[in-house]
Structure formats: structure tokens, C-alpha cells
Homo-oligomer: A and B are copies of this chain.
Amino acid sequence: MYIGIDIGGSGIDAGLFRRDGSLAARARADVAPGMGRDGIVRDMLSALRGLISRAGVRSEGVLGIGVGVPGAFDGASGEILHTPNLPLDGLNLARELAGDFSAPVALENDANCAALGELRAPGRETVTDMVFVTIGTGIGGGIIAGGTIYRGAGSAAGEIGHMVIVHGGRPCPCGRLGCWERYASASALASSAAGVCAKGGGGAMLRLCGGDMASITAKTPFDAAKRGDAPSMRLIDEYISYLACGMTNLVNIFQPQLICIGGGVSREPDEWLLDPLRETMHREAYSRPGGRVGVEKTRFARDAGIIGAAALFFE
């Protein structure tokens, strides 16, 4: 059996997988705001012990543990170097897990794990070149080239959210101006929606969230647009234009067979997200002999991360 772990800002998911890749059991350890490193590690280990005991597996039966890390890490030592949204800097995860498990531990970037997991979805058997785009607080990318993860020097490739699409545009915490994620992340859409509300044009959006501007998310303008609200529809059109811009850039650079999107926004219905995205991308992207790029949403949703983490041992 193999364990796949996906470390996220709000919780740590884990799955126990059989040798054929099928899921035997899963567990989750929530991460509450303000929780410290020791608490997070304790809850994670407790969730892992529960995971194998519920499945009736002894720890020696676990042959590999893959971990998707939302930040920088040292693969050789198993140490997490820096996770911007979690207090795990300096945690040697391999050492922590060695107390309970004798299996080797492999760390990998979380977006790369999601991409690798997505490749294992039914119907994706022939996909060898894909870019997985995760739309959340920022925009992350997992690049599959020739059937395997493209890691780049220092395993630092895939910062696709920090591709400038508006030269001299909105300031990004990374130091650049006009990064894609400042226009096309879920946070960017929520922030634009709040901006429309602050200027008095977001009545329909405000009604959807009980008049509380602080509870506006990326879902709010989508929901208001579906009810025919004109300012929200304009906002969504603009959002799709920015999202399609960066995705078309990725097509022209990589010419992958497939661009796959994940994150909460990917759950919007096709007529509001994938259809207009495809329309723009197929019109604007460089074509290639014998086909055009596929644009799809994740087929595993949250599970892609744990599947891909375990799949580090199936590669």
C-alpha cells in the first residue's frame, strides 16, 4: 500500500492506495487558523495512524509515502524549507514520519502532484503533455512534459501565476507589476467584485451575501451573473478574458495536448467557464497540425493531489 498526502492551507488530506492505484481509505486533519507547527504535525500523524488502522494495514505494509508540499522543500533531506500559508518552515517531514513508518518519503510540489494525479483519470491514458492550472488564492501550475513532471532547475518551475500579462499593471507581492494571478486568481475576482460593490454597482452580489462585503468570494459574481445581473456579467466577461489570456500564452509556449484547470472556480458550470474559455483560446492560440488543445476541468477535484502524491511511487 502507498500513502499520498496533500498539504493545504486549511487541512492535510491523506489517502491510502493499493498497488493498482485504487483508493482504499482516506483521512483529513483540519488546520485551524493560528495552529502552530507541533499541533499540525500531531494531528497529521494521528490522522495517518487512523487511516491505516481503519484499513487494517500495519505500518510495515506501507511501501511509500508521497507528499505534495505547497512551497519550497529539499527533496534529498525531506525538509520543508518554506510554506507561505502554513507555519511548517524547517520541518523535516521525512524524520517525523520515520517514527511511525519505515517507508521511503518523497516530497513534491503540490501542483505537480495534482497534475500527476490528473493524468491517472480515465480517458487521460494518452496524455503526455499537459499543463495543470490551479486557480485559488494565486495561480499554480503543474507541467507534464513527455509523460513526466517538468521540474526545472531547483524543482522551481511552474510559477505560471507570476507571468506578467499586463506590463506595468497591478502590483504583485512577488515584486512584479501585472502578474496573471493578480487578474485571474479566485482572490483577484473576489477583490474585483468587492470593488464593484464598494462603488455602489454590486447590489445583486451584496444581496447574495447578506449585505456583508467581507463574505464576497469568486463564486458571488458567478452566482449573480447566472441570475442576469449586468455588472456581474461584465465582471465575469473581463475575468474570462484575463484567464484566457494566460492560458493561451501557455498553449503557445507549450502546445500541450491538454490544459486542465482545478480549484474552486473550476466547479462553475461549463457555459459560464469552459465554453467561453475554449471559444477565446481556440480563436487566439496558435494551432498545430492535426488538432487543437483540449481545455478541461479536473476530473478528481480535491483527490488529484493525494492520487498524484501516491503516484510518485508508481511512476
User: Within the assembled complex, what's the spacing in Å between the Cα atoms of A284 and B155?
Assistant: 18
| Contacts A167-B241, A174-B284 known; 18 new A-B pairs at CB < 8 A | A129-B152, A153-B291, A153-B293, A154-B288, A154-B289, A156-B286, A156-B289, A158-B255, A159-B252, A159-B255, A162-B249, A162-B252, A164-B165, A166-B166, A167-B183, A167-B242, A249-B249, A253-B253
Interface centre among A145, A241, A249, A284 (most CB of B within 10 A): A249
Inside 8 A of A183's CB, which chain B residues have their CB? 167
Q: Contact check: which of B155, B164, B169 meets A249 at CB < 8 Å?
A: B164
The answer to whether B81 and A284 have CB atoms under 8 Å apart is: no
A83 in the interface (beta carbon within 8 A): no
A235 at the interface (CB under 8 A from B): no
Q: Does A84 contact B (CB under 8 A)?
A: no
**Contact present for A152 and B256 (CB under 8 Å):** yes
Are A255 and B129 closer than 8 Å at their CB atoms? no
* A257 interface hit (Cβ, 8 Å): yes
In the bound complex, CA of A164 to CA of B163 (Å):
10
